[in-house]
Amino acid sequence: MTIAITGAGSGIGAATAAALRAAGHHIIGIDLRNADITVDLADPAARAAAVEEILERSGGVLDGVVLCAGVGPQVPDPNLVVEINYRATVALLDALLPALRKGENPAAVVVSSVASTQIKWEDNPIAKGNEAEAFARAGDFAGHYAYASSKNAVTVAVRERAVEWGAAGVRLNTVAPGSVETPLLQAGLDDPRYGEAIRNFVAPIGRNGKPEEIASLIAYLVSPQAGFIHGAQFVIDGGIDAQTRPTVV
């Protein structure tokens, strides 16, 4: 299989690229650094150029797409969190669908977050189109608000595409990790605004996840063994969602 992976330079994306390479697949890694295609996905023109390069390297045919690139709540500009985690992700999904349609057993996986469940779509400032003002009013909370909004929006965007993508024969799912030991988590822990809350966000299983554990779920979801899984979100969080929302099914 030929599989394009954003965020392949670090953390969950790097672990996913390693797992899929080890399984014999051809990986096209996309990231700010340590990747086949180096690009700043926050820049709409640069990401359009990256799409062209992905199509060139894949011959216009992709069997898999895994979108891991993202930034955490500690990034100073909350609008950048939305641009990378939500807008860039959706732009790549839509731009790469034609190549996926030509693939064999094609599938895409987007890395969302358990944070996607911390806000309702009806209350999401991205849904209302007023996120810049909403974040400006949020003070110290803006980063987390932007992160949860961006992840909620990306999960909704995937679910909204289930009908069209299913009809096109391309499966599309999200994974929603809890805390996973990566540089992104470490940056949050090091931030005086969020460090304590993240440290207290301990899963019932008693530890944080490892990038390889998320990678193995992603590898399964892009494989033909997951052929009937479509439009779904898979929480992979050591039980923290069950702990915080036991009655939500």
Return residues touching ligand NAI (CB under 6 A): 7, 9-13, 31-32, 39-42, 68-71, 84-85, 111, 113, 177, 179-180, 182-185
Smallest CA-to-CA distance from 155 within 144, 167, 147 is with 147
| 35-44, long-range: CB < 8 A, 24+ apart | 35/8, 35/9, 36/8, 41/6, 41/69, 41/84, 41/88, 41/92, 42/80, 42/83, 42/84, 42/88, 44/87, 44/91
Residue among 12 and 126 whose Cβ is closer to ligand NAI = 12
The DSSP output letter for 159 is: H
Q: Is 105 or 186 the residue whose CB approaches ligand NAI more closely? A: 186
Give the integer Cα–Cα distance in Å for 174 and 112: 6
DSSP state of 171: E
Nearer to ligand NAI, 38 or 105 (CB): 38
Least gap, CB of 224 to ligand NAI (angstroms): 24
Nearest approach, Cβ of residue 40 and ligand NAI (Å): 5
Cβ closest to ligand NAI, residue 7 vs residue 106: 7
Least Å distance, CB 74 to ligand NAI, is: 11
Please pick, among 86, 145, 147, 194, the residue that the annotation labels catalytic. 147
Residue 147 annotated among the catalytic residues of the structure: yes
CA gap 102, 93 in Å, rounded:
15
Q: What token pair was written down for 22?
A: 């080890």
| Nearest distance, CB of residue 45 and ligand NAI, angstroms | 13
Name which of 160, 238, 169 is nearest 202 in CA terms. 238
Query: Least Å distance between CB 102 and ligand NAI?
Result: 25
Residue 144 near residue 76 (C-beta atoms within 8 A) = no
Cβ contact 30:226 at 8 Å: no
Q: Residue 183 or 224: which CB sits closer to ligand NAI?
A: 183
Residues acting as catalytic residues = 147
